[in-house]
Amino acid sequence: MSVADLFPAAQPSATTSADRITIRRPDDWHIHLRDGAMLKAVLPYTAAQFARGIIMPNLVPPVTTVAAARAYRERILAALPDGMDFTPLMTCYLRDDTDPDEIERGFAEKVWIAAKLYPAGATTNSHAGVTDLIGLAPVLERMERIGMPLLIHGEATDPEIDIFDREAAFMEGSLIPLLARHQGLKVTVEHATTAEILDVVRANRTRVAATITPHHLVINRTHIFQGGLRPHLYCLPVAKRERHRLALRAAATSGEACFFLGTDTAPHVRGAKEASCGCAGVFCGPSALQTYVQVFDEEGALDRFEAFASLNGARFHGIAPNAATVTLERRGSRVIEAVAVEDTAVVVFRGDETLPWAVV
């Protein structure tokens, strides 16, 4: 399978010039690949756009040991189509009973690049996550000492808190105190959705960063209900008000090193989304780069796109940027509507739309 197989030839637009931008091949610092048939179906779309990616560990059962992480990495590499290259960067799923020695061993052996903190019950397959941040102190102190980054799904889980306020509640009640207790800990606030969390990241920029998704740059909370309920736009953290979307666009395109690309591409089959209790997750693997570059173009910031997509994340994690390049061109490209998975499919974010930029 080749990139051309995944992204059919784009048709030149009659209303725009064929501008091109070539950047170092980007990395995706937040990916859900799932496992089995789903992994095999969605992995090629990520590998076609990104050289490396941080793989989320919320499988069933979750990836909590070095052995489980090694085995999952091998399954990902086995699912990679011939002729495609992609490096999975594995993470550990933190629990209340996580062993600091296991954390250090996996990091020292370069099995894990980071550890992932899911507040228990916050999102998909997070029920086994952390219930007590104070009790997790020995693990966080060890990570602080060895320089291992902590990746945070930053939402409070109290059901009395409005779903649109859960990121803010986590920031005030958990994140800010955690940063004060562990002043040497490197932290990535994943899939940031509010202006306030961006300010916290900026205030701690020497050791705190945030990933920003393509969908949170494009939709606000109104889009989820526009013309009816749109389950394929429902994700966690849920999209917020328009002022937050504009703040995210300003941050992503600012050139600030503390913000970088993380798609949070999260596939669920159509039946799991279009259900009486639908799953949270937006599958943007096939349309991610086209969406990001469109936003940077609209904001007049194409000269800052490479930093956001290809440099800032690598610098934060202490690894070299990729040597290879990718080219995008300003011309109409039709996004596939869905990706087949066995006898069903996963609906693509912006699927069946013609986007103004194409991956060449």
Q: Which domains are assigned to the chain?
A: 27-323 (3.20.20.140)
156: amino acid identity, one letter = A
Is 352 catalytic? The answer is no
Task: Report the SS3 class of residue 166.
Answer: helix
List Cβ neighbours of 97 (8 Å cut-off, separation of 6 or more). none
Written as tens digits, the pLDDT of the chain (360 aa) is: 554 555 444 433 322 334 999 999 999 999 999 999 999 999 999 999 999 999 999 999 999 999 999 999 999 999 999 999 999 999 999 999 999 999 999 999 999 999 999 999 999 999 999 999 999 999 999 999 999 999 999 999 999 999 999 999 999 999 999 999 999 999 999 999 999 999 999 999 999 999 999 999 999 999 999 999 999 999 999 999 999 999 999 999 999 999 999 999 999 999 999 999 999 999 999 999 999 999 999 999 999 999 999 999 999 999 999 999 999 999 999 999 999 999 999 999 999 999 999 999
State the Cα–Cα distance between residues 328 and 70, nearest whole angstrom: 34
> Nearest 5°: phi and psi at 150?
-110, 125
DSSP assignment letter at 64: -
Which of 27, 28, 264, 297 is flagged as catalytic?
264
DSSP assignment letter at 323: S
Answer yes or no: pTM beyond 0.85: yes
Task: Report the SS3 class of residue 84.
Answer: coil
Q: For residue 23, what is the enclosing H or E element?
A: strand 20-24
